[in-house]
A and B are shown apart, each in its own frame.
Chain A
Amino acid sequence: MAHRRGGSLVAVLVAGLMAACSSSSGASSSSSVSGGASTAPIVIGISLSQTGDFSDPGKAAMRGYQLWAETVNGSGGILGRQVQLKIADDASDPGQAVTNYETFITKDHVDLVFGPFSTLLSVPSAQIANRYGYSFVEPAGGGPDMFAAKLPNVFFVQPAPVLACGDPFVNWILSLPADQRPKTAAYVSLDDPFASPIADAMQAKFEAAGIQTLARTIYPPETTNFTPIVSPVAAKSPDMWVGGTQSDDAYAQVKSMISLNFNPKFLYLSNGASSPVEFPSKVGASNVNGIFSCGDWFPNSNASGNQDFISAYTAKYGGDAFGIDSTSAEAYAVGQLIQAVAAKTGSIDNQTIINTLHSGTWPTVEGNLSWDQYGMPQGSDMLVEWIDQKLTPVYPADVALHTPVSPKPNWGG
C-alpha cells in the first residue's frame, strides 16, 4: 500500500516549476515595411511585443509606426530617402528586447532605433542605445525607472510622465469652490509600480488641501475577487474614490461598486477607464458616465497632424477615430519628431537628433512636447470623463471639449 508522499514536496516542486516557467523567452522574427525604390533607405530598428503580456499594446504601437512609415514614404520619404522599418518580436521579454536592439545596432547597423512598449522593456533597451550613441525616442516607457536611469538619449513622446497622470484631476478638484469639493476620499490601488504611486501622489495633494482620507487599500496583482476589497471601503461612504488601476482591476472595482450599489460623488480610475472601447464593454456602457481618468491623446484634439493621422489610420485599418488605441498615436508621434528634426537640421544623425530635441517645443499628434535633460516630458496629461457614454477631455480648459460633470450620476444613469 503506497504511502502518500508529503504535500510539502509537492508544494516545493510546484513553486520551483512555476518560478522556472515564469520567465519566457521568445524567438525573434522580423518583418519589414518598405516604402519604395530608394537605394539608400533610412532603416529604423524597433523591438515590439507581438506575443506575451504586452502584445496588445505592442501591436497597437506597430500599427502607429507602420502607418507613419507609409505616410512619410508616400510623401517622398525623409530627406529624399525612403523609410524602412525593421521590426523584431521581443515576446514581452526585456532580455529579448535588449538582444533585438544589440542586433539592430551592431549587426544590422540600422540608422535609427525607436522604442518598444512598456518601461519594463524600454529602460534596458534605452541603455543599450545610449551605449552606442543612438537616440531613443519612445512612445511608451514613462515610468519612474526610465527617468531615474538619467539617460541623455531618451525622449518620452507623451505630454507627461506616467506618475503625473493624476495631476489634472487633482488640479480640477482643487479648482472647485470649497462647498463643491469632496470632503472625504478613499484610495484603492493595485500593488504595481505604475498604479499605486499615482494614487499615493494624489492622496498627498488632496490631504494637503484638507480632504480627509477614510481608507487606503492596496491589493495584490493576483487578486481575483474584488468585492471583499471594495465592500469595507464602500461602507465608509467616501465622497471621492481614487483607484490606482491598470486595466482588469479597474473593471473589477467598478463591477463591485455597482453590485454593492455604492456610487461615489467623484470616481477617478488612473487607467483602464481611459480605454474608449474596452472599458464600456467590460462594465456595461450604461455604467461609465461620470467616471474620470487620464489620457495623453484624444481623437478630437487639434494637435499637429492629428486629423491627418486619424484619416490615414481609419483608411488603413478601418473603424472610427474613437476605436484608435492611444499607443498607435504615440508611436506615430515618434516618427513625426524625426521628420521635424530632419526638416529643421537637414540631418537624421543620432547626435543631431539628441541635441536638437533637447531645446524648443515640438508639435506632434500628442500635443506640443518638450523634455528635460533625461527625456521627461514637461507638459500635462488631460483629464477625461465619460459623458453621454463617450470619453471626453474635460480639463484643462484649453483642451476641454466639455466642462466636467459632477457629481457622478447613478449607475446606469
Chain B
Amino acid sequence: MRLFVQAVILGLLAGGVYALMASGLTLAFGIMRVINVAQGVMIILGAYVSYTLFTHFGVDPFLSVLFVVPVVFVLGVVIELVFIRPLRPSEREELSLLVTWAVALGIEGVLGLVYSTTYRSTIPSYANAAWRIGGFAVLQVQVYAFGLSVVILAVLGVVLAKTRFGRAVRGTVQNPASAALLGVDERKVAAIGFGLSVATAAAAGAVYGVVTPFNPGSHYDLISLLLTIIVLGGMGSLPGTVVAAVLMGVSQALLATYISPTSAKLTFFILLIGILVVRPQGLFGAVERGKL
C-alpha cells in the first residue's frame, strides 16, 4: 500500500508537468489543425534558456519562466508566419508534420552547435530536496512544477473562456468559416495561438531542466510522450489533455512499480490501443470540430 501511494504521488506530480507540456500541442491542433512535432524541442529550448539564465546570472528557473515565455512566444509567432501560414489549408494537417519536424531538427542543430551534445542540468538549491509527509517523499521541485502548471493552465483556461481573444479562438476551433464571417481574423488568431502553444511548452521546459538532465536530442523522447497524451485525451481537447497527462504520469509510476519500467511502456500502449478501439476520438475528443 505504501508503494502504491508513493507511486500515485510521484505520478500525479509528473502528470501535472506533462499536462503543461502537452497543452500547447493540443491548442495548436485545435485552432489550426497543426500537429506541431517541434513542441518537444520547444521544451528543450526553454530548458536551455532557463539553464543559461541560471548558470550565468543566477536567475531561479521558476523566475526565468517570466523571460522564457515571451521570448518563445515571439519565436512561435515567427514560425507560424514563416513556415505554417504558407501551407494550403486543405493539406495543413499532414504538411504541418513535415514542416514542424524540419523546424525541430533545425532548432536541435542550433542547440547542438551552441551547447554541444553534453547533457545539462539546472541545479538550484532545492533541486534534490523533498518533503517527508507521513513517511512519503514529496519532491519539492515537482510540487513547484505542478503548481506552475496549474497556474499557467488556469490562466490559459481563463483567457480562452473570458476574453475576446479566447472567444475568437473558440469560434475558430468550432467553425472557422462562421468565425471569419463574424469578423474574427483567423490569421491573427492562428499566429497568437501558435505563439501561446509553444510558449507553454517553453515554460514547462524551464522546469524540465531541473527535474531531468537534457541535451539537444532529448526532444525525441518528449514528443512521442506528448503525442501519446494528446491522442489519449482527444486531439484538440484541453481538459482531455490534462486528464490524459495525469493518467499517463500515474500509470507510468504504477506500472514501473508493479511490473517493470520496460514493460510499463508496452502495457500503456496496449491500454491506449484498447481505449482508442472503444473511443477513436480519445477520452474527451469531439467527433466533429467542437469545444477546445
Residues of A at the B interface (CB closer than 8 Å) are: 1-8, 10-11, 13-14, 17-18, 21-22, 51-53, 55-56, 59, 191, 217-229, 231-232, 235, 247-248, 251-252, 255, 258-261, 278, 281-284, 287, 411
Can you report 13 residue pairs joining A to B where beta carbons are below 8 Å apart? A7-B276, A7-B281, A10-B93, A17-B37, A56-B118, A217-B260, A220-B265, A224-B225, A255-B121, A259-B137, A259-B139, A282-B119, A284-B128
Task: Say yes or no: A223 contacts B261, CB within 8 Å.
Answer: yes
Residue in B closest to A219 when the chains form the complex, CB atoms: B261
Which A-B residue pairs are the 7 nearest by beta carbons?
A228-B253, A219-B261, A258-B128, A222-B221, A248-B213, A248-B119, A232-B257
CA distance A55 to B6 in the complex (A): 39
Known contacts A1-B175, A225-B14: A248-B252 contact under CB 8 Å: no
Residues of B at the A interface (CB closer than 8 Å) are: 2-3, 6-7, 10-11, 14, 35, 37, 93-94, 97-98, 101, 105, 112, 116-119, 121, 123, 127-130, 132, 137, 139, 142, 175, 211-215, 217-218, 220-222, 224-225, 227, 231, 235-236, 249, 252-253, 256-257, 260-262, 265, 276, 280-282, 285-289
Pick from B129, B224, B262: contact of A259, CB under 8 Å: B129
Supplied contacts A278-B118, A281-B121, 16 more A-B pairs, CB within 8 Å = A4-B286, A5-B93, A8-B276, A10-B235, A17-B97, A17-B101, A218-B260, A220-B262, A232-B3, A232-B256, A248-B212, A255-B121, A255-B127, A259-B128, A259-B130, A283-B123
* Cβ-Cβ contact count across A and B, 8 Å cutoff: 162
Pick from A51, A218, A252, A283: contact of B212, CB under 8 Å: A252
Task: Say yes or no: B225 contacts A14, CB within 8 Å.
Answer: no
Known contacts A7-B276, A218-B262, A255-B128: A228-B101 contact under CB 8 Å: no
CA distance A222 to B264 in the complex (A): 12
Residues of A near B35 (CB, < 8 A) are: 10, 13-14
Pick from A8, A13, A287: contact of B97, CB under 8 Å: A13
Known contacts A14-B37, A51-B112, A223-B261: A6-B280 contact under CB 8 Å: yes
Residues of A near B280 (CB, < 8 A) are: 6-8
Residues of A near B261 (CB, < 8 A) are: 217-220, 223, 229
CA distance A221 to B220 in the complex (A): 11
